[in-house]
Amino acid sequence: MKRFIRFTMLALCMAAPAFAQDTSVNVNWYTIPELPSVPIIDGDLSDPVWANVPTIPMDKNGDSPAAVPGSGDLDIILKIAWDDETNALYFAVNVIDDSLTLAQGLGSTAGTGGWNNERLEVVLDGTNTGDAASTTTSGFHQQYTFDMPNTWDPYDPAAGLYGLFNVESPNALKVTTQFTQVPVYERVEGSLNLNNSHAPWNIADEYIESAARIRATNPASREWIEAPVEYNWEVKIVPFEFLVGASTLGYDLANPANIASGWKSYWEDPTHDKLDLKQGIVIGCSPQQNDADIWGQTPAREHQTNTTGVAGNWNSSESLTGLILGPRVSTSVADWSIQ
Ligand SMILES: [Ca+2]
Ligand SMILES: [Ca+2]
Ligand SMILES: [Ca+2]
Ligand SMILES: [Ca+2]
């Protein structure tokens, strides 16, 4: 990574000495490359374009970067890139977890307990304000959340990850050691608050596109719950400078037409300020992965890891990682042989 940054900074200085990205508000920063073409968002991270994107450490807040089996451990490989044509950020996340626990209800997002699950959260501040007062309800700061279906309820109509012998829910994904795609529930905290009655939460792919694949790493596993797993997130997000809340704009989130379109009219509302992605700008960001490991009476998140080591940055633009939009990748930086 350091070698890549040095090379990138050298290249930027030589090509355009006027570039002076302000990362003074950030706890750390990384240059992310522009992609020559976009990956297929399907949770399979073998797209050739990902191979040339360097990894970013995502092992903060108490997580061990080494494999330490046991409660509270995650091993993550994170890659982030951008694309000019789709004006989007792309995230690839590979997670190895000792215990899969998605036990907070339908789609794991029922009520307000979704943060206690194996949730991916991507915090973005398109203008990199560094402002502690810029929060998920301010419009400048957005938190995108991604959840998989639950691992415990055989009668859940959306059950996706129940058990090997589950007959009550024929649509459930049986336990398998092969990577298999599972549904993802998309949501934007503060701006587009979707609750249980408004599922499915598939936000228009022009703005948010995501997919996940999962496999059990122990062939002896009979249920997904508490199974040791490996899973991938593959996510595209079109970032905004400012998003006005859906309720402020009067959108009916329960309207079937809005649900069917992925709330497209909301995203197209001219009240929002679009962010034009271009080389040299800095976006405040904290990708973070929550980890629950113990299935009990009150399943709870064991820990959360991110790129900053700052807890609580989900609700503030203070202390984010600075993503500097770098030049297009043209040569192989690193091989990424996972799966
Ligand atoms: Ca893919
Ligand atoms: Ca864990
Ligand atoms: Ca979508
Ligand atoms: Ca876990």
Residue 84: per-residue pLDDT:
97
Residue 169: per-residue pLDDT:
64
More confident call, 255 vs 154: 255
CA of 295 to the centre of ligand 1 (A): 31
Tokens of 9: 């900074």
CA of 338 to the centre of ligand 1 (A): 13
Whether the per-residue pLDDT at 215 is higher than 60: the answer is: yes
128, 161 contact by CB (below 8 A): no
More confident call, 339 vs 204: 204
* Span 71-120, pLDDT tens digits: 678 899 999 999 999 999 999 999 999 999 887 755 554 556 778 889 99
CA of 305 to the centre of ligand 3 (A): 24
Residue 295: per-residue pLDDT:
80
CA of 211 to the centre of ligand 1 (A): 8
Tokens of 164: 């090997």
Residue 85 zone, left/alpha/beta (φ > 0; ψ -120 to 50; rest): alpha
CA of 147 to the centre of ligand 3 (A): 12
Tokens of 212: 């996940």
* Span 180-200, pLDDT tens digits: 998 898 989 889 887 655 566
CA of 116 to the centre of ligand 2 (A): 12
287, 78 contact by CB (below 8 A): yes
Mean pLDDT of 326-337: 65
Closest CA to 186 of 201, 204, 200, 196: 201
Q: Is 297 exposed, middle or buried (0-12, 13-18, 19+ CB in 10 A)?
A: exposed
Helix (H, G, I), strand (E, B), or coil: what is residue 338?
A: coil
* Span 137-153, pLDDT tens digits: 899 999 999 988 888 76
Q: How many angstroms from the chain centroid is the CA of residue 82?
A: 14
Mean pLDDT of 326-339: 61
Residue 5: per-residue pLDDT:
45
Q: What domains can be seen in the chain, in order of their start residue?
A: 21-328 (2.60.40.1190)
